Amino acid sequence: SITRAYYRNSVGVLLIYDTTNYVSFTHVTSWLNDARQQIEPYHCVFLLVGTKIDRESERQVTTEEGKAFADFHNIPFIETSSKSSLYVQEAFALIAREIYDLLIEGRIHIQKGWDGVKAGPNTASTNQNQSIDIMQNNQPHRSGCCGG
């Protein structure tokens, strides 16, 4: 399928469910398993994202349920609102920071034949120890929002 073709060269996967629709949350396990199966043998960073937290009165999936799932699968977790832009930028910064850290640690490698992470035209070596500002000090501190 088209989805499987995208997974093959992925280094980061956002597993996004709707906090106002419990059925969407029940699909996360199959999405995670499917992605892991398609990405092997490469390492990938996952981020569980609960959306629509601006619609609290309609919530069907609790923050605790999302966090428990993320903890069980050892992946980071964040809740966002596209409508109010709450924590959306932080979600992308979080997964980018995780990918960058794994690249620096040598757990993700730039390899020919794999499109997951590519070296730029001016890259002298595969794992340069250059710092990149990915909102290092701008993380929100909201109880129950983020974990991992």
The DSSP H or E segment spanning 37 is helix 28-39
pLDDT at 127 over 60: no
The Cα 4–Cα 85 span in angstroms is: 29
Task: Give the model confidence (pLDDT) of 47-63 as tens digits.
Answer: 999 999 999 999 999 99
CATH architecture label of 2-105: 3-Layer(aba) Sandwich (3.40)
Beta bridge partners of 147: 77
DSSP class of residue 147 equals B
Cα→Cα distances 124→104, 133, 146, Å: 14, 20, 35
pLDDT tens column, 74-125:
999 999 999 999 999 999 999 999 989 988 888 876 666 555 665 666 655 5
Q: Where are the domains of the chain?
A: 2-105
In tens, the pLDDT along 1-37 reads 556 676 767 889 999 999 999 999 999 999 999 888 8
Asked if residue 76 has a cis previous peptide bond (ω within 30° of 0), the answer is no
Residue closest to 87 by CA, chosen among 79, 99, 77, 96: 79
Whole-prediction pTM value? 0.76
